Structure 1
Amino acid sequence: MQSLDAISAKRNNVLCTLFYGKWPNFFILWNDEPKNPEDMATFFRKHPLLFNFICWIIYAQFVYIYNLPKISYVDYSHILFLCLLYSIIFYSNFFLFKFIESRKINIGIAILLVISTFFILAALGYVCIYGILPLFGAKLYYEDVPFKLSLYLRNILSPYIKYASYAIIVYFILKWFANLAYKRRMEKAHYEMEREKFEYEQAFLRAQVNPHFLHNSLNFIYTEALSLSKSLAESIYLLSMMMRYSLDNAVKGKQLVPVHKELEYLEIYLEINRRRFGKGKNIVFEFEGDRYLHSIPPLSFITLVENAFKYGDLSDPLYPLQIKIVVNRDKIYFYSSNKKRISKTLDTSGSHVGLKNVERRLKGAFKNKARLSRTEDNEIYTVELFIDFSSDTKEI
């Protein structure tokens, strides 16, 4: 007995035989030959014109076979020419209906467009039936019957209504499938977001214990260090405050913090590094404006400055780390410039991850009001952040 896999493979081969083999390869000339029904579906989605052409060929064959018992002599070329005219009616109404719905045209203008399309296609049909097709030996009319406009319009109205109705039905079917596919994509995206959210929450819960323990330990060490060295105790205290700020914003998930709070901890971060490196790092920090205006995603300034400490050369007094922050009613402006560290083994991939994270959070908080730009040359790396509040000020 054959296995289920063998039967399934044979079924797929039978389906693919319709479009796979010597004559289809010669006719279609594809490079990515489908090996199973799923590949065929993907292939035809990439080549809709080919799919529509094959559908009309199959339909023409059906019309030919259907009319054989009814008519003593059926010319296959006449069937093809008729299907060509029918396809023009079908696609004209399909795209006309799509245009009417997408532009939300009122019913009066829509009816006028449908009637106009009918008369335009009737004129085109007359040119094809009585002018062009006879040149190819195809006469789709009775020569002994005189032409009457009323009779011609009455005869063409029936196929027009028929294939226009087909077009509308197909349009709604395709729209239903498109909406279904969109709904499934949204459900999948929502599921992925919920899964990622759950994983992040679990990660935060797992990570919460060690930072809290470390923070409490630092407070204990700070208390013990006071009797030994005031400078050492102050450094431990600054580090403890920095850790508390990072931990609170990570666990509580705050979207925005006041600018003055971010500046306070940025100054703590700079002070920690001054104590750590002494005169080995050259830093110039400048602030202008009112620090009590506006809010910003937490750790934004600190992340941008941290990249300079990680990947910059701050030991040259001629090229110090320059930080300038301006805050007023209309804007928040951040500027950072540092000399690049020359090292073949230096991995700066983490810098891009941190900056992209800041950029994503700024976009989530301020949409298109925030612009984060990075420029660099052979020596200098510059980061600029501009948040425009001028429109908010005008509204006030």
Structure 2
Amino acid sequence: MKILEEIKKLCLSRYNLSVLGAQVGIYALLVSIWSLVIMLLEHDVNAAKESMRVNAFVLFLLLIVFMANFYLLVPYLFEAKSKLKHWAFWVINLLFIILWNHHIFSIYNDDLPNAPIRIGFYQFGVMWMILNYAMVVAAIFVRYYIRHNTLRRQLREEKQKMTEAELAWLKNQLNPHFLFNTLNNISSLTQTSPNNAQKAIGQLSELLRYALYETQPKEVSLNGEIAFIKNYINLMTLRSGSNVEIKSQFIIHNSQLLIAPLVFLTPVENAFKHGISANKPSFIHISITEDNGKIVFLCENSNYPKNDTDKSGKGIGLENMYRRLELIYPGRYQIEQRISQQTYHIKITIKPYKR
């Protein structure tokens, strides 16, 4: 019963039904074309009917050989790892082909009038055996092609699932990291400017709403992302002193552009984290522009690296961003970074997918 269930499942699979439909279609097409050729050449309806009858019978024999191998012999014998089953496959095929075609091979020499015709019959027999075995080989190759495509599709699906899982993990890392850095900044405000700290908490709630609820899709509106970055800059500006120059510019002509959510957040965070000194002149310049369908993010800031004793969220930001860009925009992004004369520069160019 188990074997019958497996055979039923095998025969009713989508790929196998497609092959069956294609084979029946080819069979009907060949019979019809050959009958039409006879009709056009002989101008004889009876000859065309006889041709259809003969060719329908002959091609049906070949079709059954193919189907028997495709559905049964190849999957259960040829594709098995046992050498004994491999040998059984070819022996069974030989016996099956001979028995299935016995009507063609049952013409006795006494029925053939002379030697030349008998020689022609022998040649026909050899060619007919080769043609039958061609059906066997065709069944092997068709099954190999289907299995190969199925494996490729499964691997592609598994890779996609792994990529999505990794992106989800990276995103889940990003939100706590962002929250940690922001709370760290608000914490310092509670001591120096309680009023600004209260205002910052209100702004933080708006940022969290976007980060937690608006960034669930794989891509979000670029305008929405820019609004988030503007709010973040305004929040961070509250704790910046008069010695810090903060400039931002956003020029987007195509309002339909989409971008991966929070992809530019890390360099903006790092600019406020590493670009501001308590007693030295500092600057942060941030821009997002559109250039021939490409999104260009640019951030330049003074660079005052934190020392080893600073524990304010060190480590995962940039590495997380690089990995996300590679997973989401492989071959469609560029990153330029440089540090010169205590100035940090990063430029990210992304070519979004067309919709």
Q: Same fold (TM over 0.5)?
A: no
Scaled by the length of structure 2, the TM-score of the pair is: 0.43
Scaled by the length of structure 1, the TM-score of the pair is: 0.40
* Structure with the larger RCO, 1 or 2 (CA within 8 Å, 6+ apart): 2
